[in-house]
Structure 1
Amino acid sequence: MERIPISVQGYERIEKELAQLKKERPEVIKAIAEAREEGDLKENAGYHAARERQGFLEGRINLLQSRMPYFNVVDLDTLEQDDVIGFGATVELEDLDTEEVKKYTLLGADEADYARDGSISVQSPVAQALLGKEVGDEITVDAPRGRIEYEIISVKYLGTKY
């Protein structure tokens, strides 16, 4: 498996989530044991809910633990300030049809959350089209609504202030 880029802050969030999930394990095991004591497991909603939660916990713990050795942790505050778009760049784009301006920060897939902070995965179609480009370049992205053409307005490396 190839290296997975992630910011220091993203890595710390993953570590915190993993610790929280592991902390929750004994509570779920206890809930399963208590539900078993109630008898008939076929119609025991508490038992089924606890088993479902256990399955989610174990799956998420396994996923995070299997990815962590492959993380390439990048300190966003030490990235070189150049005009070429790469990991950690905050980019402003103008949709050439609608003139709508969008702003994205390119981060790792395990930490990107557009709704939370405007970040997108470097593996996303938009980010893939942006990588290596500069201000003034135009890109085309195939999106569900069709092909979208953007012009790159600005490229900044804001570090942890994105």
Structure 2
Amino acid sequence: MSEKEIILTREGLNKIENELEYLKTVRRKEVAERIKEAIAFGDISENSEYDEAKNEQAQVEERIAKLEMTLRKAKVIDETEISLDVVSIGTTVKVKDLDFDEIVEYTIVGSAEADPYELKISNESPVGRSLLGGKVGDIVDVQVPDGIAKLEILEIKR
């Protein structure tokens, strides 16, 4: 069984590498210190500080493992090779919602990088999937819970 590639932009890769470095060099030490302090309180069988610190340690280690796995499967897209003729992963696309007469700018990224608060949408999301391959001037239909939204592609850039 082949593992699914995780598509990342250079920015997304850097963000993951920085978080991993922080977890390994800073958070691990902080949690280890908390465990050490909790053990100093004595009997660990009824020591809530110890239990809390051990749970935190497990969460940190789980996150480290997840980030390392992501990096092993990562395929970084070369942003200089991205065509601006069509919407693709790594492009930023300005669209007009024809139903609400609103203009929004989305950056299309791989699912590991998606962050709706930063308007970075996954290529696997309904909007991302509908926009992929579109050209300036195209009107695409997006399946949304209320029905179908119509988006006009106004601009494609890096």
Contact 2:84 2:91 in 1 (8 A): no
2:108 — aligned with what? 106
How far apart, in 1, do the equivalents of 2:24 and 2:127 lie?
35
Note the residue ranges of structure 2 that are not aligned, 5 or more in a row.
none
How far apart, in 2, do the equivalents of 1:6 and 1:49 lie?
34
| SS of aligned partner of 1:61 | helix
2:120 — aligned with what? 119
Structure 2 residue 69 is matched with structure 1 residue 63: no
| SS of aligned partner of 1:84 | coil
Q: How big is the alpha-carbon RMSD for the aligned residues of Structure 1 and Structure 2?
A: 1.9
Matches within 5 A, 1:1-80: 1-23=3-25, 24-41=27-44, 44-76=47-79, 78-80=80-82
Number of residue pairs matched? Answer: 155
Note the residue ranges of structure 1 that are not aligned, 5 or more in a row.
none
How far apart, in 1, do the equivalents of 2:91 and 2:9 lie?
12
Q: TM-score, normalised by structure 2?
A: 0.86
Aligned-partner residue type, residue 72 of structure 2 = P
How far apart, in 1, do the equivalents of 2:38 and 2:144 lie?
47
| SS of aligned partner of 2:20 | helix
Render the CA deviation track for 1:61-96: whole Å, top value 9, x for unaligned. 1111112111111232x1344321111111111111
2:131 — aligned with what? 130
How far apart, in 1, do the equivalents of 2:104 and 2:18 lie?
30
How far apart, in 2, do the equivalents of 1:97 and 1:126 lie?
15
